[in-house]
């Protein structure tokens, strides 16, 4: 197994914490929030997609990727993330693009440094850990919102 294959396998497995939640989600649940919190279930789904696309483009060099990171631009839930089909398609687009660019990486690139304003300078190996933990963190929030949110 090559290094890119190992990282891809690790990321894809970790992402199931998120993707498994999407199998049973209902459109009316997208507006759910926890008491005294700002972000809805729909916002979190969109946000995970936004960040995965930013990683594909800015960390791994997928220049052809189209991303308008609306959740990052707004920096809060604007209430617009209520169309389940659009959100599911967007997160799948994000998954497919990040997967495709990770597959194109070589064994040698994982120790190369990448600098972003969001997390500073990291190796690409550290960056893959960052996207794994980011998605898992928000998947946990999403699970709690879906279970206890109103």
Q: Is 140 exposed, middle or buried (0-12, 13-18, 19+ CB in 10 A)?
A: middle
Domain count, the chain: 1
Q: Is 11 exposed, middle or buried (0-12, 13-18, 19+ CB in 10 A)?
A: buried
Residue 117, pLDDT score: 83
- Looking up residue 30, the CATH number of its domain turns out to be 1.20.120.450
Range of the domain at 118: 3-148
Residue 118, pLDDT score: 82
- pLDDT profile of the chain (150 residues), mean per 10: 94 97 97 94 98 95 92 93 98 97 94 90 95 97 97
Residue 119, pLDDT score: 85
């Amino acid at each position: 197994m090559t290094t890119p294959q190992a990282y891809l396998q690790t990321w894809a497995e970790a992402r199931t914490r998120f993707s498994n939640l999407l199998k049973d989600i209902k459109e009316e649940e997208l507006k759910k929030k926890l008491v005294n919190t700002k972000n809805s279930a729909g916002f979190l789904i969109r946000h995970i997609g936004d960040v995965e696309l930013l990683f594909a483009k800015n960390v791994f060099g997928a220049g052809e990727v189209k991303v308008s990171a609306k959740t990052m631009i707004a920096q809060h839930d604007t209430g617009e993330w209520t169309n389940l089909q659009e959100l599911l398609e967007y997160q799948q687009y994000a998954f497919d693009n990040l997967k495709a660019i990770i597959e194109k990486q070589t064994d040698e690139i994982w120790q190369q440094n990448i600098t972003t304003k969001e997390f500073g300078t990291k190796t690409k190996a550290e960056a893959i850990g960052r996207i794994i933990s980011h998605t898992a963190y928000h998947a946990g929030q999403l699970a709690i919102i879906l279970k206890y949110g109103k």
